[in-house]
Amino acid sequence: MSPAEKLHLRLVYSLRDLELANSALAFLDELDVTARCSKIELRRYRCFLESAVIAYWRPFAAADGLPALGFEALGVVPTAEQQALHERLRIFRNKVVAHSDPKQMRVLLTAHKAHVDHDAQMPFLVIDEGLEFLDDRALWRGWVSILIGALADYVFETVQGTNSYRFERDYLNQGQ
C-alpha cells in the first residue's frame, strides 16, 4: 500500500474506532454514581471505560504500517481542555489499560487466620476497580463527536464526484 492508501485506510477505519469509543461511553453513562453496586457491576463499567480508552486511542497510535492519526489530518484543532484530556487518556492507556505499570497499580493482599482451630491463612485480595474519567464524560463525548464528524466529512468528501466508489481491505480475502 502506498502512504496515501495507508492514510486513507487509517482515516476510514478510525471512524469505526471512534464510534466504538462513543458507544462504550454511552454504556458508561448508564452508571448511577449515587447507587451502590457490586464488584461485578463495577467491573462491567470498568470494561466499558477501558474499551472506550482503547478504541479512542487506536487511531492515534501507529500500527503495522498504518500511520498514527494526527489532528491535522482531520482538520481539527483541539482546545486546551480537549488536548489535556487526550494526553491523560494516552497516559492511562499506556500505563494502566494496555500495560501494567507498577507505578499505577493499586492492590492490597492480606491474609488472616481463617479459624481459631486451624493454621490456614485466608488470602484477601483488593484491587482498585475505580472508574477514572467519570467527571470527564461530557467533555470526552463532545470531543469524540467532533472527531467522528471530521471523519464522516472525510468519508463523505471521498466518495463525491464518483459514479461508483469501492474501497475494500479484508484480511480474510488476501488472495482475492
* Contact between 25 and 52 (Cβ < 8 Å): yes
* Contact between 59 and 74 (Cβ < 8 Å): no
Quick: pLDDT tens for 35-45. 998 989 988 99
The reported pTM is 0.82
Quick: pLDDT tens for 127-175. 776 788 888 999 999 999 999 999 999 988 888 887 777 777 777 776 6
Instruction: State the Cα–Cα distance between residues 150 and 98, nearest whole angstrom.
Output: 27
* Contact between 49 and 132 (Cβ < 8 Å): yes
Instruction: State the Cα–Cα distance between residues 56 and 98, nearest whole angstrom.
Output: 13
Quick: pLDDT tens for 104-119. 677 788 998 888 888 8
Task: Find the mean pLDDT for residues 58-62.
Answer: 93
Radius of gyration of the chain (CA): 21
